């Protein structure tokens, strides 16, 4: 509540946006500053017949990255709830990759 303007928003967005970040080992752009040996090892770890990983969102909000052969290589927990300050009720969820 703004002391000058009063109640400024009729209702808030159902979720707060946070960018979904790929884990470093899944993003080749993050390898560029590493050593040649590291890049070679990462290329060998993720051959083209298994990559790229597909992003799958489960009904509970858990985000999984699955390789073409079915191997799950990363899982992000479901989003955290966002509570109303006055009532304490859940009003939405924090989307994206929460730093834990």
Round to the nearest angstrom and report the end-to-end CA distance of the chain.
Answer: 31
Q: Is residue 15 part of a domain?
A: no
Compute the mean pLDDT over every residue in the chain, rounded to the nearest whole number: 75
> Which residue range is the domain that position 30 belongs to?
22-77
Q: Is the peptide bond before 17 cis (omega within 30 degrees of 0)?
A: no
Structure tokens at 48: 């083209």
Q: How many helices (H) does the chain have, and how many strands (E)? A: 1, 6
Q: Is residue 33 part of a domain?
A: yes
- Give the span between the Cα atoms of 62 and 59, in whole angstroms: 7
Give percent of the chain with pLDDT exceeding 90. Answer: 2
Q: Over the stretch 35-73, which tens digit does the pLDDT of each residue have?
A: 999 888 888 877 778 877 888 888 877 888 888 888 888
Q: Is residue 16 part of a domain?
A: no
Q: Is the pLDDT of residue 85 over 80?
A: yes
Work out how many domains the chain is built from and give that number: 1
Q: Is residue 95 part of a domain?
A: no
Q: Is residue 28 part of a domain?
A: yes
β-pair partners for 81: 93
Q: Is the pLDDT of residue 14 over 80?
A: no
β-pair partners for 48: none
């Amino acid at each position: 509540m703004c002391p000058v303007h009063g109640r400024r928003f009729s209702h808030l967005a159902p979720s707060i946006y946070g960018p979904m970040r790929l884990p470093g080992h899944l993003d080749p752009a993050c390898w560029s500053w590493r050593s040649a040996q590291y890049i070679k090892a990462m290329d060998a770890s993720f051959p083209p017949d298994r990559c790229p990983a597909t992003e799958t969102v489960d009904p509970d909000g858990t985000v999984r990255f699955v390789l073409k052969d079915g191997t799950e290589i990363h899982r992000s927990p479901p989003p955290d709830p966002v509570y109303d300050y006055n009532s304490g009720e859940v009003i939405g969820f924090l989307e994206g990759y929460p730093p834990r």
